[in-house]
Amino acid sequence: YCRILLTYIILFLTPDTVLFLRKQCECLSWLCFHATIGNFSSFLNSLITINFIALVLALRQRLKYINSRMANYCQIIEDSEQVFPHSRTTDCISSEDIHKLRVLYAKVQSLSEAIVHFYGVPLAGVIIWLFLACVYIFYYVAYMISSQSVLRIANSVIWTMYSVTLIIVLTVSCHVTAAESRAMMVYVQSLLLNTNLPTDTRHELKSMSFQLLCLKLQFSTCGLFTLDLFFLRTMFGVIVSYIIIM
């Protein structure tokens, strides 16, 4: 966590220091150094975002494994009911199997909370940076159109597409991971509809249903806003509104 804070100290303080030195010494080397620091800051923001996305997608793989097991149980019970309509499905699904899946989900939930706690502040800074980058680059392109500098306009368009891509990948990865958790509830309720389940298995399924209701998997930035498709739509709406108003 200290490394992340140190990164943002460098990110926010170093450009101001360089601008001050630039005023004191109008030297080409300082201009090159300032450009290097700007690119380095963009690299750090991108690295934080990519690390967060990789961790979120790793959690999604764990949730997909749990859902595959639950879907397999549903399919086995459905097939057994077609062959033996009035038999109890003790051999198909046991309370120990459901309990292991509950423990696995609890570990995934704990890891998600640790990730959100660790990346909360840096991720909020990254989102602010992406928002400002999209707005600033749009105005910069509008200003550079009059100068007919094709190379600078192309560079700005590429940076805009890059920023928008980061926002989309970030929010979509969080959304699909949370969707896996919601899909798990559907499988649990489908299993509970079966009347031939043993009592201990039904008890574990009810406990798992309560666990999914209480421990909802979601990703946020310091509790300010949840990273999902609704946030993506809101952010793009704010960017467009801000550009139109200004």
Beta bridge partners of 220: 226
* C-alpha distances in Å from residue 80, one per residue of 84, 156, 167: 6, 61, 46
The pLDDT of 17-39, averaged and rounded, is: 48
Q: pLDDT tens across 130-144, in order?
A: 888 777 777 777 776
pLDDT tier at 105 (50, 70, 90 boundaries)? very high
pLDDT (0 to 100) of residue 4 = 47
Distance of alpha carbon 36 from alpha carbon 34, whole angstroms:
5
**Segment 38-53 mean pLDDT:** 78
Residue with the larger pLDDT of the pair 144 and 213 = 213
**Residue 177 dihedral angles phi and psi, to the nearest 5°:** -70, -45
Q: Which of 53-57, 79-83, 86-90 has the highest mean pLDDT?
A: 53-57
pLDDT recorded at residue 14: 46
Nearest to 121 by CA among 176, 181, 73, 52: 52
**Predicted local distance difference test score (pLDDT) of residue 173:** 92
pLDDT band at 225 (very low <50, low <70, confident <90, very high): confident
Distance separating alpha carbons of residues 173 and 17, to the nearest angstrom: 36
The mean-pLDDT minimum among 106-120, 168-182, 213-227 falls in 213-227
Distance CA 72, CA 195 (A): 18
| Largest Cα span, the chain | 88
Q: How far apart are CA 111 and CA 201, in angstroms?
A: 27
Q: How far apart are CA 2 and CA 20, in angstroms?
A: 27
pLDDT category of residue 178 using cuts at 50, 70 and 90: very high
Percentage of the chain surpassing pLDDT 90?
18
Higher pLDDT, 246 or 101: 101
pLDDT for the residue 51 = 87
Rounded CA-CA distance 16/39 in Å is 15
- 20 or 237, higher pLDDT: 237
Q: Positive or negative CA dihedral for 75, 76, 79, 85? A: negative
Lowest-confidence range among 13-17, 72-76, 89-93, 107-111? 13-17
41 or 15, greater pLDDT: 41
